[in-house]
Structure 1
Amino acid sequence: MTAQIFKKPVNTNNQVLTPTDPFNIHPLLQHQSAALDADRDDYRRAIDLLIDNLIHIEDTSGEFLLRLTDGRVIDTKAWHGFEWTQGIGLYGMYKVWEMTGDKKAWDIMINWFEDRFKEGSPSRNINTVAPFLTLAYLFERTGDRRYLPYLDVWAEWVYNDLPRTEEGGFQHIVYNSVNNQQLWDDTLMMSVVPLAKIGLLLNRPHYVEEAKRQFLIHIKYLTDRKTGLWFHGWTFEGRHNFANALWGRGNSWVTIVIPEFIELLNLPKDDAFRMFLIETLEAQVKALAKVQAPSGLWRTILDDETSYEEAAASAGFAYGILKAVRKGYISRDYEAIGIKAAKAVRAHINSAGELTQVSFGTPVFNSIQEYKDIPLTSMPFGQAMALLTMGEFLYRFI
């Protein structure tokens, strides 16, 4: 019998993962997270705080309730509502679960849908489609047959019955306004990406092609060719971009959805549509680099230094930029502005887990001042966009 040689176990407890002075070490020899000046456990704790705050937000004053003429009252702040604000909250939570396997996040998502299905579906519009993006991912993971009719019915409504503008764009109809002949950049996140995901999931390629078409239409009418940034809205009635507002959060939806859409479709690198989206994204990010505030945040009107800095939009920019760099869609030269933004977002998460400096829901306005007058308040989408950022930042520690 051959003698076995036993080796003494290596003691790994003495590894020093973070050099005491990383800047004395050549960058190629540093641990990959040494120059981040950030603590992984702190970002993980921030995620826990954000989730807890997200599901406990309340509008105690009634100031932010949406009161419709038919008597309905829509709560866009509380977790039990059914709007785009909760839809983005769900997606932020799903991306955290995807990154960490957080059981608490999973249970919250499942329970949210269980509770909403018991209540009955809301009226259909661009914004109430938003939660179905997360539902599609949950169906993909669980195979829960009860989810399928909802995905089927709502996606068919988007494809066949959602009001259209000239040239077939998705008209940005919401709870309290039909917004006739209007395109908004929010639409790409709220309805277009959900349609594409459901199309892939249910093997309905016409949904995917429609989603691609919507990206092209929105790029055609909402991008500012002078800067690479995006206007908030366009109307075919009068054919103008309203206040020509380069609104922060509207732009941040674009920075989020383009990397998400490219990843979702998994198109080859030489695909013309993929290249067009990447060029559109890089033009925007190049412009964003020029208007980032010294704090690391961006302003609610990106090119107006008299407008306040807004943390939700900044979180969206940080997430989209860092993900696009990680996936190789845009140059690594942009990573520094994404890291700076992510750290600024972290600094705006208080001890109660609230992302501060978040503007309330914002319609398309006819003047820049109206954007600057939108009040600041805690919102589910702010929490969610911070969750996206914190989760994406954790990839830097792997």
Structure 2
Amino acid sequence: MQMEQTDLKAAADRVYRYLMFSSPESWGGHEWAEWAMERNRWDWNPGVGLIAAADYGAFCGAEGMIQAVEVWTEQNIGGSEKLKVINSLAPYAIFPLLYRQTGNRFYKDKAEEMAIWLIKEAPRTRNGAFEHTVTESASFSEQVWADTVFMAILFLARTARLAGRKVLAEEAMSQTLLHLQTLQDKETGMLFHGWNGETGDWMSAARWNRANAWIAVGVPMIAEEAGELCGDMKLIGELRERYSRLAETLVRCQNESGLWPTVLDRPYFYEETSGSAGIACGLYKAVRAGWIPAELALASADRAVAAVLTQVREDGAVLGVSGGTPVLGSVEAYDHVPTFPTLYGQGLVLLLFVEKLRMIAST
């Protein structure tokens, strides 16, 4: 156990360093490499990485890691004023932690300001879900994406707890359930990547690995922050029931390698690391929360940790991570998305390693 903990901590340190301090010469030659690894942008990709870096710093009690996150915020906060969309909310999820660590009132006030904007002004689809909006010049009118749960609703839940505001907690929990109701396949329990309210379908109907991961890891994080303050036991009961069904089917479709294919019901598609890490992290978190039984999920999550470790390069870069992926035109198109290191890939793997270290420390 001690050797496992030591090896995992060393890998987490490498992933963290590559996330926060790698330089362009190590990013590879792919045409999307700069977008994938450039930290100094206010967007979801750096945001996911920063959420993980802050979580790791808090877990380790490492003041320097928290300071690095704060430095990033100070350098990039100007970019937050350029537009307000779902994907640009992800970095704000670190503000509650920064407020607790530093006492700087700016973080609390700004988080509350953006949370109020989200619940009062952000575009919604006809069924009331937050419409998935992005920083790029693209519109996905009437579309509900699984990604929104992690990019925006996690921030809302954390701000609800920070401010002690029931209305924010209720919206966070209601939106989480609404996304599951909209995206969960009744037949399999898996989640589709997105729903188009205008056409009334799941578009390509891809049961995409990372879409399932955003919700698998995001739901227990959201419930931990907002569940008690929301207090709607009927809502929470349905959310738990749906999550349990998701967890059961995710465990069943895991490959023998310990990873999951990039489309869950296509086992012959390539295996994708970031989604696999997010799914396994979610399983650990759900077990710790008492949402799913340990005997269902821990062996599966442990196999995933072992497999993900083999994808961490010596310099800390995480391999096998698919590039940024909107809802694609066909299921087959997901198998052709290129892979390379990304900030969100680093982040999801770091979140997994931290959760496993947390599990080890509690035994």
Q: Same fold (TM over 0.5)?
A: yes
Partner of residue 365 from structure 1, selected from 325, 328, 350: 328
Partner of residue 317 from structure 1, selected from 279, 301, 322: 279
In structure 1, C-alpha distance between the alignment counterparts of 2:161 and 2:284, rounded to whole Å: 25
Name the structure 2 match of 1:26: none
Name the structure 2 match of 1:54: 19
Q: Segments of 4+ in structure 1 off by > 4 A?
A: 59-62
* Residue 84 in structure 1 maps to residue 44 in structure 2: yes
Name the structure 1 match of 2:259: 297
Task: Tell me if structure 1 keeps the 8 A contact 2:42–2:80.
Answer: no
Partner of residue 356 from structure 1, selected from 319, 328, 348: 319
Name the structure 1 match of 2:32: 64
In structure 2, C-alpha distance between the alignment counterparts of 1:119 and 1:265, rounded to whole Å: 28
- Structure 1 gaps of 5+ residues are 1-32, 66-73
Partner of residue 228 from structure 2, selected from 257, 267, 288: 267
* Residue 144 in structure 1 maps to residue 89 in structure 2: no
In structure 2, C-alpha distance between the alignment counterparts of 1:327 and 1:44, rounded to whole Å: 23
Name the structure 2 match of 1:308: 270
Partner of residue 228 from structure 1, selected from 169, 189, 195: 189
| Alpha-carbon distance change, 45 to 126 in structure 1, aligned in 2, over 3 angstroms | same
| Alpha-carbon distance change, 364 to 201 in structure 1, aligned in 2, over 3 angstroms | same
1:126-152 Cα deviation digits (max 9, x unpaired): 111001111122113322022234223
- Structure 2 gaps of 5+ residues are none
Name the structure 2 match of 1:95: 55
* Residue 287 in structure 1 maps to residue 249 in structure 2: yes
- 1:224-263 → structure 2 map (5 Å cutoff): 224-263=185-224
Task: Tell me if structure 1 keeps the 8 A contact 2:247–2:283.
Answer: yes
In structure 2, C-alpha distance between the alignment counterparts of 1:82 and 1:131, rounded to whole Å: 7
* Residue 179 in structure 1 maps to residue 144 in structure 2: no
Q: Give secondary structure in 2 for the equivalent of 1:167.
A: coil
In structure 1, C-alpha distance between the alignment counterparts of 2:85 and 2:35, rounded to whole Å: 16
Name the structure 2 match of 1:188: 149
User: Residue 312 of structure 1: CA displacement?
Assistant: 0.3
In structure 2, C-alpha distance between the alignment counterparts of 1:107 and 1:251, rounded to whole Å: 32
In structure 2, C-alpha distance between the alignment counterparts of 1:272 and 1:50, rounded to whole Å: 40
Task: Tell me if structure 1 keeps the 8 A contact 2:80–2:88.
Answer: no
* Residue 201 in structure 1 maps to residue 166 in structure 2: no
User: Residue 113 of structure 1: CA displacement?
Assistant: 0.5
User: Residue 342 of structure 1: CA displacement?
Assistant: 1.1
1:231-273 Cα deviation digits (max 9, x unpaired): 0000011100011100000000111011112211243999222
Name the structure 1 match of 2:354: 391
Task: Tell me if structure 2 keeps the 8 A contact 1:258–1:278.
Answer: no
User: Residue 60 of structure 1: CA displacement?
Assistant: 6.7
User: Which protein has the larger Cα radius of gyration, Structure 1 or Structure 2?
Assistant: 1
In structure 1, C-alpha distance between the alignment counterparts of 2:332 and 2:86, rounded to whole Å: 26
Name the count of aligned residue pairs: 355
Q: Give secondary structure in 1 for the equivalent of 2:266.
A: coil
User: Residue 315 of structure 1: CA displacement?
Assistant: 0.5
Task: Tell me if structure 1 keeps the 8 A contact 2:108–2:162.
Answer: no
Name the structure 2 match of 1:169: 129
Task: Tell me if structure 1 keeps the 8 A contact 2:213–2:276.
Answer: yes
1:76-105 Cα deviation digits (max 9, x unpaired): 421112111111101111221222112332
In structure 1, C-alpha distance between the alignment counterparts of 2:152 and 2:302, rounded to whole Å: 29
What letter matches 1:143 in structure 2? G
Structure scoring higher RCO (CA < 8 A, sep ≥ 6) equals 2
Name the structure 1 match of 2:6: 41
Q: Give secondary structure in 2 for the equivalent of 1:353.
A: coil
After the TM superposition, which of the residue ranges 55-64 and 84-93 deviates more from structure 2? 55-64
Taking structure 1 as the reference length, what is the TM-score of the superposition? Answer: 0.84
Percent of aligned pairs sharing the same letter: 30
In structure 1, C-alpha distance between the alignment counterparts of 2:212 and 2:149, rounded to whole Å: 11
